[in-house]
A and B are shown apart, each in its own frame.
Chain A
Amino acid sequence: ELKVEQNPLFLSMQEGKNYTIYCNYSTTSDRLYWYRQDPGKSLESLFVLLSNGAVKQEGRLMASLDTKARLSTLHITAAVHDLSATYFCAVDTKYGGSQGNLIFGKGTKLSVKP
């Protein structure tokens, strides 16, 4: 059974600081997603990571995937208040192809303070 663990679950940062959110998963998978959720809103897709060593960047966020370690990271550079949200990683349950069924981590609630 695939399990996905994120840490930390809560993160309070000061503006301008850097930090990393970790996503570990328990069985082999080659497809991982990061989503963002603002309070009261739905989930928005941020990144899709499809292979070992994949790295994607958008603005102050950078995501990477190490399939051998079963680990993805979401790195935040020089945080700003607008990044305050809950971030979820999600792992595809099927290896070597996809049927689109994802297991989500519990989310990391990020709060960026001035």
Chain B
Amino acid sequence: DVKVTQSSRYLVKRTGEKVFLECVQDMDHENMFWYRQDPGLGLRLIYFSYDVKMKEKGDIPEGYSVSREKKERFSLILESASTNQTSMYLCASSPLGQPQHFGDGTRLSIL
């Protein structure tokens, strides 16, 4: 079974902090993705990566950056957290053209 592991289920941070969300997959997938999920808005793509050190902006990249130094790990960074970044964050991975496998999500609260 594919395993996508997100480092935290729940996280509380303060405004202005630099926040790191980590995601690891164990199936050697090329593609990895970061989404945020908000009520009434569905899933929105923040960034994705189709190879090590490669990244592409999604629909809502502002205020975020990413890092993919190793194939199995994709990190999402909130450079200076703000309250409007309070959300559920979902990481996913997939081989090319195949369904994405999602992690359990990180519910992030910015106070």
**Given A99-B50, A100-B48, A100-B94, A45:B42 Cβ within 8 A:** no
Give chain B's interface residue range (CB within 8 Å of chain A): 20 to 34
Report the minimal beta-carbon distance from B91 to chain A, rounded to whole angstroms: 9
- Chain A interfacial residues counted at CB < 8 A: 23
A102-B45, A106-B40 in contact; A42/B102 too (CB < 8 A)?
A: yes
Find the B residue at minimum CB distance from A106.
B42
Q: Which residue of B lies closest to A31 (CB)?
A: B97
The listed residue (A41, A88, A100) touching B31 by CB distance below 8 A is A100
On whether the beta carbons of B102 and A107 are closer than 8 Å, the reply is no
B100 on the interface (CB 8 Å rule)?
Answer: yes
In angstroms, Cα B44 to Cα A106, docked, is 9
Q: Decide if A42 touches B97 in the complex (CB within 8 Å).
A: no
Which B residue sits closest to A105, measured CB to CB?
B42
Interface string of A9-51 (1 = CB under 8 A from B): 0000000000000000000000101010000011111001000
Q: How far is the CB of A95 from chain B (nearest CB, A)?
A: 12
Interface status of A98 (Cβ within 8 A of chain B): yes
Determine the distance from Cα of A99 to Cα of B42 in the docked complex, in whole angstroms: 21
Using A41-B104, A106-B41 as known contacts, say yes or no to A98 and B99 having CB atoms under 8 A apart.
no
B98 to chain A, nearest CB (A): 8
Cα(A98)–Cα(B104), bound, Å: 25
- Which among B48, B50, B99, B104 has the highest number of chain A CB atoms within 10 Å? B99
Measuring CB to CB, which residues of chain A are less than 8 angstroms from any residue of chain B? 31, 33, 35, 41-45, 48, 88, 90, 92, 97-107
